[in-house]
Amino acid sequence: MATEENKNAAAGQGFIYLPLIAGWLVPGAGHFLLRKWGRGTLLAASILGMFGLGLAMHGELKSEVHDILDMLGLAGDLGNGLLYLVSRAAGWGADKVQTTVGDYGTRFIVVAGLLNVIAAVDAHNLRTGRKQ
Amino acid sequence: MTHFPAVLLFALFASTVFGITMRETPRRMFKYGVYCFALFVGSVIVLSWLMYLIAR
């Protein structure tokens, strides 16, 4: 009963989409805002690790869209939030994939973005009280 | 980095996120993460052997 009241009280404070947006922009930030330090740290380490390995493997950061698969890849890349924008601005990542490992790197970057979206939605569910 | 370590790291990171986001208690998160990791790595090994046998 008391837990339910606390949950409802927490759900009624502040901008409800803040953990979702923060979690999308910076991996783990949504959970940190909700004081879920352990979960946030593990999520941030996993997503940053996957994105960093993708760059280290000379994966491609999508910038131009030629077909539907490129569009899906770009959508996945955009899931990385600020990581994608900063990496594009810094000129990191390969312009064109030339090796098999580079192709794996591209997949790592896309999947890191998709995992980041899942983590951000999880933070939103915690914020709304749908999950504990 | 060779292919298998890349697969292991991919499975580790993806399983960690799946475990945390798909379950509610730490114990169930850990168990689900281990389950996902085993499925990732197990399916890679099975599919690799299948492709090896098909390519012979």
**Chain B residues inside the 8 Å CB shell of A108:** 6, 10
Q: What is the mean pLDDT of chain A?
A: 89
Q: Which of A104, A115, A132 is closest, CB to CB, to B6?
A: A104
- % chain A with pLDDT above 90: 71
Structure tokens at A11: 């759900």
pLDDT digits (tens, 9 = 90+) for A79-110: 999 999 999 999 998 878 878 888 999 999 99
From the CA of B19, how many Å to the nearest CA of chain A? 10
Terminal C-alpha separation, chain A: 14
- Residue A96 to residue B56: CA distance in whole angstroms: 32
Could you give the C-alpha distances from A103 to A64, A99, A118, B32, in angstroms and in order? Answer: 16, 6, 23, 29
| CB within 8 Å: B16 and A101 | no
- Report the chain B residue with the minimal C-alpha distance to residue A132: B24
From the CA of A57, how many Å to the nearest CA of chain B? 8
Cβ–Cβ < 8 Å for B13, B20: no
Band of pLDDT at residue A111, cut at 50, 70 and 90: very high
Report phi then psi at A94, rounded to 5: -80, 150
- pLDDT confidence of residue B39: 98
| B interface residues, A as partner, C-beta within 8 Å | 1, 3, 6, 9-10, 12-14, 16-18, 20-21, 24, 26
Question: Residue A117 carries which DSSP code?
Answer: H
Q: Residues with Cβ < 8 Å from B41, sequence gap 6 or more?
A: B7, B8, B11
| CB within 8 Å: A43 and B20 | yes
| CB within 8 Å: B21 and A122 | yes
Could you give the C-alpha distances from B28 to A51, A74, A78, B40, in angstroms and in order? Answer: 26, 33, 30, 18
- Quote the pTM value: 0.89
- pLDDT confidence of residue A43: 98
User: Where along chain B do its domains lie?
Assistant: 3-55
Report phi then psi at A62, rounded to 5: -65, 135
Structure tokens at A101: 């490992």
Does the pLDDT value for residue A69 go beyond 80? yes
- Across chain B, which has 56 residues, the per-10-residue mean pLDDT values are 90 97 96 98 96 92
